[in-house]
Protein backbone atom coordinates (compact mmCIF):
# COMPACT_ATOMS: atom_id res chain seq x y z
CA UNK A 1 0.00 0.00 0.00
CA UNK A 2 1.36 3.41 -0.96
CA UNK A 3 0.02 6.58 0.57
CA UNK A 4 1.18 10.16 0.59
CA UNK A 5 -0.51 11.15 3.85
CA UNK A 6 1.69 10.42 6.84
CA UNK A 7 -0.10 9.22 9.91
CA UNK A 8 2.16 6.86 11.83
CA UNK A 9 4.78 8.21 14.19
CA UNK A 10 8.11 6.68 15.05
CA UNK A 11 11.11 7.59 17.19
CA UNK A 12 13.92 9.21 15.23
CA UNK A 13 17.56 8.21 15.78
CA UNK A 14 17.75 11.27 18.06
CA UNK A 15 14.83 9.97 20.13
CA UNK A 16 12.12 12.49 19.16
CA UNK A 17 8.82 11.50 17.57
CA UNK A 18 8.75 12.01 13.80
CA UNK A 19 6.57 10.69 10.94
CA UNK A 20 7.14 7.05 10.01
CA UNK A 21 7.63 6.75 6.26
CA UNK A 22 7.65 2.93 6.26
CA UNK A 23 6.23 0.46 8.77
CA UNK A 24 6.54 -3.30 8.18
CA UNK A 25 4.89 -5.86 10.45
CA UNK A 26 5.55 -9.54 9.75
CA UNK A 27 5.85 -8.94 6.01
CA UNK A 28 6.60 -11.67 3.48
CA UNK A 29 6.42 -11.39 -0.28
CA UNK A 30 7.59 -12.98 -3.50
CA UNK A 31 6.89 -13.80 -7.11
CA UNK A 32 5.32 -17.22 -6.57
CA UNK A 33 6.26 -20.36 -4.71
CA UNK A 34 8.27 -19.77 -1.56
CA UNK A 35 8.45 -16.14 -0.37
CA UNK A 36 11.58 -14.30 -1.51
CA UNK A 37 11.57 -12.19 1.66
CA UNK A 38 9.95 -12.92 5.00
CA UNK A 39 9.82 -11.79 8.61
CA UNK A 40 10.21 -8.07 7.96
CA UNK A 41 9.52 -5.95 11.06
CA UNK A 42 10.93 -2.45 10.95
CA UNK A 43 10.04 1.23 10.98
CA UNK A 44 11.87 3.83 8.89
CA UNK A 45 11.28 7.34 10.26
CA UNK A 46 11.56 10.57 8.31
CA UNK A 47 15.05 12.01 8.41
CA UNK A 48 16.82 8.66 8.80
CA UNK A 49 19.53 7.07 6.66
CA UNK A 50 19.17 3.29 6.82
CA UNK A 51 21.73 0.95 5.35
CA UNK A 52 20.39 -2.21 3.70
CA UNK A 53 22.96 -5.00 4.02
CA UNK A 54 22.76 -8.49 2.60
CA UNK A 55 24.32 -10.90 0.12
CA UNK A 56 23.66 -10.90 -3.60
CA UNK A 57 20.30 -12.59 -4.13
CA UNK A 58 19.34 -11.93 -0.51
CA UNK A 59 16.22 -9.95 -1.33
CA UNK A 60 17.35 -6.31 -1.38
CA UNK A 61 15.85 -5.60 -4.81
CA UNK A 62 12.76 -7.58 -3.83
CA UNK A 63 12.28 -5.31 -0.81
CA UNK A 64 12.58 -2.22 -3.00
CA UNK A 65 9.90 -3.59 -5.30
CA UNK A 66 7.62 -4.34 -2.39
CA UNK A 67 8.00 -0.76 -1.17
CA UNK A 68 7.16 0.49 -4.67
CA UNK A 69 3.98 -1.60 -4.73
CA UNK A 70 5.32 -3.77 -7.58
CA UNK A 71 5.44 -6.94 -5.50
CA UNK A 72 2.40 -8.36 -3.71
CA UNK A 73 2.67 -8.68 0.05
CA UNK A 74 1.63 -12.24 0.85
CA UNK A 75 1.38 -11.87 4.61
CA UNK A 76 1.78 -9.18 7.19
CA UNK A 77 1.23 -5.45 6.81
CA UNK A 78 3.42 -3.04 4.84
CA UNK A 79 2.62 0.66 5.13
CA UNK A 80 4.42 3.18 2.91
CA UNK A 81 3.46 6.74 3.79
CA UNK A 82 5.51 8.67 1.24
CA UNK A 83 6.16 8.92 -2.46
CA UNK A 84 9.11 6.69 -3.36
CA UNK A 85 11.94 7.60 -5.71
CA UNK A 86 14.35 4.94 -6.97
CA UNK A 87 18.00 5.82 -7.56
CA UNK A 88 19.56 2.98 -9.59
CA UNK A 89 23.22 2.16 -9.97
CA UNK A 90 24.74 4.55 -12.47
CA UNK A 91 26.80 1.80 -14.11
CA UNK A 92 23.55 0.20 -15.25
CA UNK A 93 22.55 3.34 -17.16
CA UNK A 94 22.89 3.74 -20.92
CA UNK A 95 25.85 6.05 -21.41
CA UNK A 96 25.75 6.16 -25.21
CA UNK A 97 22.26 7.65 -25.39
CA UNK A 98 22.44 11.36 -26.35
CA UNK A 99 20.56 12.92 -23.43
CA UNK A 100 21.69 15.77 -21.22
CA UNK A 101 21.77 15.87 -17.44
CA UNK A 102 18.70 18.12 -17.63
CA UNK A 103 16.87 15.57 -19.80
CA UNK A 104 17.53 12.83 -17.25
CA UNK A 105 16.35 14.98 -14.34
CA UNK A 106 13.29 15.98 -16.37
CA UNK A 107 12.32 12.30 -16.70
CA UNK A 108 11.33 12.47 -13.05
CA UNK A 109 8.33 14.65 -13.98
CA UNK A 110 6.80 12.10 -16.36
CA UNK A 111 5.14 10.05 -13.61
CA UNK A 112 3.41 13.21 -12.36
CA UNK A 113 1.89 14.16 -15.73
CA UNK A 114 -0.98 12.70 -17.79
CA UNK A 115 0.32 10.33 -20.46
CA UNK A 116 -0.58 12.75 -23.23
CA UNK A 117 1.14 15.81 -21.74
CA UNK A 118 4.77 16.72 -22.35
CA UNK A 119 6.89 18.46 -19.69
CA UNK A 120 6.53 22.23 -19.88
CA UNK A 121 8.22 25.27 -18.37
CA UNK A 122 7.18 24.45 -14.82
CA UNK A 123 8.66 20.97 -15.08
CA UNK A 124 11.88 22.30 -16.61
CA UNK A 125 12.21 24.79 -13.77
CA UNK A 126 11.76 21.96 -11.28
CA UNK A 127 14.43 19.88 -13.04
CA UNK A 128 16.85 22.82 -13.06
CA UNK A 129 16.17 23.39 -9.34
CA UNK A 130 16.84 19.72 -8.56
CA UNK A 131 20.17 19.83 -10.41
CA UNK A 132 21.09 22.95 -8.47
CA UNK A 133 20.14 21.13 -5.27
CA UNK A 134 22.62 18.35 -5.98
CA UNK A 135 25.34 20.79 -7.04
CA UNK A 136 25.13 20.23 -10.80
CA UNK A 137 23.28 23.28 -12.08
CA UNK A 138 26.25 24.24 -14.24
CA UNK A 139 26.31 20.77 -15.82
CA UNK A 140 22.67 20.77 -16.97
CA UNK A 141 23.53 20.83 -20.69
CA UNK A 142 26.31 18.27 -20.56
CA UNK A 143 25.65 14.83 -22.01
CA UNK A 144 24.84 12.38 -19.24
CA UNK A 145 27.40 9.84 -20.46
CA UNK A 146 30.20 12.42 -20.34
CA UNK A 147 29.76 13.07 -16.63
CA UNK A 148 31.82 11.31 -13.97
CA UNK A 149 30.31 8.42 -12.07
CA UNK A 150 29.67 10.58 -9.01
CA UNK A 151 28.04 13.29 -11.10
CA UNK A 152 25.79 10.77 -12.85
CA UNK A 153 24.72 9.41 -9.47
CA UNK A 154 23.77 12.90 -8.33
CA UNK A 155 21.79 13.46 -11.54
CA UNK A 156 19.80 10.32 -10.78
CA UNK A 157 19.13 11.66 -7.28
CA UNK A 158 17.94 14.91 -8.89
CA UNK A 159 15.52 12.87 -11.00
CA UNK A 160 14.04 11.40 -7.80
CA UNK A 161 13.81 14.84 -6.19
CA UNK A 162 11.84 16.14 -9.19
CA UNK A 163 9.24 13.49 -8.33
CA UNK A 164 8.93 15.10 -4.89
CA UNK A 165 10.00 11.78 -3.39
CA UNK A 166 10.21 11.79 0.40
CA UNK A 167 11.51 8.22 0.49
CA UNK A 168 14.62 7.49 -1.60
CA UNK A 169 15.56 3.90 -2.42
CA UNK A 170 19.22 3.89 -3.45
CA UNK A 171 20.75 0.82 -5.09
CA UNK A 172 24.46 0.74 -4.18
CA UNK A 173 24.97 4.44 -4.96
CA UNK A 174 28.65 4.38 -3.97
CA UNK A 175 29.63 1.52 -6.30
CA UNK A 176 32.58 2.48 -8.46
CA UNK A 177 33.05 5.98 -7.01
CA UNK A 178 36.42 7.36 -6.02
CA UNK A 179 36.89 8.77 -2.53
CA UNK A 180 36.23 12.46 -3.36
CA UNK A 181 33.03 11.58 -5.26
CA UNK A 182 31.90 9.27 -2.48
CA UNK A 183 32.49 12.00 0.10
CA UNK A 184 30.41 14.48 -1.92
CA UNK A 185 27.62 11.95 -2.28
CA UNK A 186 27.63 11.04 1.40
CA UNK A 187 27.40 14.71 2.31
CA UNK A 188 24.44 15.16 -0.05
CA UNK A 189 22.62 12.18 1.47
CA UNK A 190 23.14 13.64 4.95
CA UNK A 191 21.63 16.93 3.79
CA UNK A 192 18.61 15.20 2.21
CA UNK A 193 17.99 13.30 5.44
CA UNK A 194 18.25 16.55 7.41
CA UNK A 195 15.45 17.90 5.21
CA UNK A 196 13.18 15.13 6.48
CA UNK A 197 13.57 12.56 3.73
CA UNK A 198 14.00 8.89 4.49
CA UNK A 199 16.83 7.05 2.74
CA UNK A 200 17.11 3.28 2.37
CA UNK A 201 20.57 2.61 0.96
CA UNK A 202 21.56 -0.78 -0.39
CA UNK A 203 25.28 -1.21 0.18
CA UNK A 204 28.07 -3.74 0.52
CA UNK A 205 30.14 -1.43 2.73
CA UNK A 206 29.65 -2.48 6.33
CA UNK A 207 31.95 0.18 7.78
CA UNK A 208 30.13 2.88 5.82
CA UNK A 209 26.77 1.69 7.16
CA UNK A 210 28.12 2.17 10.70
CA UNK A 211 28.03 5.94 10.09
CA UNK A 212 24.31 5.99 9.31
CA UNK A 213 21.31 6.05 11.61
CA UNK A 214 19.88 2.55 11.15
CA UNK A 215 20.80 -0.75 9.54
CA UNK A 216 18.55 -3.48 8.15
CA UNK A 217 20.31 -6.83 7.67
CA UNK A 218 18.52 -9.08 5.20
CA UNK A 219 19.17 -12.56 3.86
CA UNK A 220 15.72 -13.54 2.55
CA UNK A 221 14.58 -13.09 6.12
CA UNK A 222 15.25 -10.14 8.38
CA UNK A 223 18.31 -10.87 10.49
CA UNK A 224 18.39 -7.64 12.49
CA UNK A 225 17.29 -4.01 12.45
CA UNK A 226 18.31 -1.06 14.58
CA UNK A 227 21.13 1.41 15.26
CA UNK A 228 24.47 0.23 13.81
CA UNK A 229 26.15 0.14 17.21
CA UNK A 230 23.58 -2.37 18.44
CA UNK A 231 23.10 -4.38 15.26
CA UNK A 232 26.44 -4.86 13.49
CA UNK A 233 27.94 -7.60 15.63
CA UNK A 234 30.04 -10.45 14.30
CA UNK A 235 27.17 -12.88 14.86
CA UNK A 236 24.68 -10.74 12.92
CA UNK A 237 27.07 -10.24 10.01
CA UNK A 238 27.84 -13.95 9.78
CA UNK A 239 24.12 -14.80 9.81
CA UNK A 240 23.45 -12.08 7.23
CA UNK A 241 26.07 -13.24 4.76
CA UNK A 242 26.19 -16.93 5.58
CA UNK A 243 29.93 -16.52 5.90
CA UNK A 244 32.73 -15.84 8.33
CA UNK A 245 33.86 -12.38 9.37
CA UNK A 246 37.63 -11.95 9.43
CA UNK A 247 39.84 -9.19 10.75
CA UNK A 248 41.61 -7.20 8.02
CA UNK A 249 45.04 -5.58 8.30
CA UNK A 250 44.59 -2.10 9.73
CA UNK A 251 41.65 -2.92 11.98
CA UNK A 252 38.70 -3.37 9.63
CA UNK A 253 36.45 -6.39 9.22
CA UNK A 254 35.74 -8.27 6.02
CA UNK A 255 33.20 -10.88 5.01
CA UNK A 256 34.48 -14.06 3.40
CA UNK A 257 31.44 -14.82 1.21
CA UNK A 258 30.08 -18.28 0.73
CA UNK A 259 28.91 -19.19 -2.78
CA UNK A 260 25.63 -17.38 -3.44
CA UNK A 261 23.48 -18.17 -6.41
CA UNK A 262 20.96 -15.79 -7.89
CA UNK A 263 17.70 -15.26 -6.06
CA UNK A 264 15.46 -17.62 -7.97
CA UNK A 265 12.43 -15.68 -6.83
CA UNK A 266 13.78 -12.38 -8.14
CA UNK A 267 14.38 -12.12 -11.91
CA UNK A 268 16.22 -8.83 -11.40
CA UNK A 269 18.62 -10.11 -8.75
CA UNK A 270 21.28 -7.86 -7.35
CA UNK A 271 24.71 -7.80 -8.90
CA UNK A 272 27.78 -6.67 -7.08
CA UNK A 273 31.20 -7.52 -5.82
CA UNK A 274 32.38 -9.09 -2.64
CA UNK A 275 30.98 -7.77 0.58
CA UNK A 276 33.79 -6.21 2.54
CA UNK A 277 34.64 -3.51 4.98
CA UNK A 278 37.52 -1.08 4.95
CA UNK A 279 39.98 -0.29 7.69
Does residue 154 contact residue 137 with C-beta atoms inside 8 Å?
A: no
In which band, very low, low, confident or very high, does the pLDDT at 33 lie, cut at 50, 70 and 90? Answer: confident
Rounded Cα–Cα distance for residues 130 and 142 (Å): 15
Rounded Cα–Cα distance for residues 69 and 80 (Å): 9
Residue 30 pLDDT > 90, yes or no? no
Residue 250 pLDDT > 90, yes or no? no
* pLDDT tens, position by position, 213-241: 999 999 999 999 999 999 999 999 999 99
* pLDDT tens, position by position, 110-162: 888 888 888 889 999 999 999 999 999 999 999 999 999 999 999 999 999 99
Residue 7 pLDDT > 50, yes or no? no
| Beta-carbon count within 10 A of 100 CB | 17
* pLDDT tens, position by position, 170-213: 999 999 899 999 999 999 999 999 999 999 999 988 999 999 99
Q: What is the pLDDT of residue 256?
A: 58
CA 135 to chain centre: 20
Does residue 206 contact residue 253 with C-beta atoms inside 8 Å?
A: yes
Mean pLDDT value across the chain: 84
Q: What is the pLDDT of residue 92?
A: 60
Dihedrals phi, psi of 65, to nearest 5 degrees: -70, -35
Does residue 50 contact residue 201 with C-beta atoms inside 8 Å?
A: yes
Q: What is the pLDDT of residue 252?
A: 58
Rounded Cα–Cα distance for residues 72 and 190 (Å): 31
Rounded Cα–Cα distance for residues 63 and 38 (Å): 10
E-assigned strands of 123-189? 167-171
CATH of domain 1-83+166-279: 3.40.50.300
Domain spans of the chain, in order of start: 1-83+166-279, 95-164
Residue 11 pLDDT > 60, yes or no? no
Amino acid sequence: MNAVAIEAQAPSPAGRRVPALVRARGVSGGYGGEPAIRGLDFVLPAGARAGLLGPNGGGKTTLFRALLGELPVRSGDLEVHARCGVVPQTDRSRLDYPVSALDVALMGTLSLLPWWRRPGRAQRRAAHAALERVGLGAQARRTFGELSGGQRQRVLIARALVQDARLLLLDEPFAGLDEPSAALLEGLLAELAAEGRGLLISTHEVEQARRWDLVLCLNRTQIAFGPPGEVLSRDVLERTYGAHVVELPGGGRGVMPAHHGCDEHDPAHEDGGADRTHP
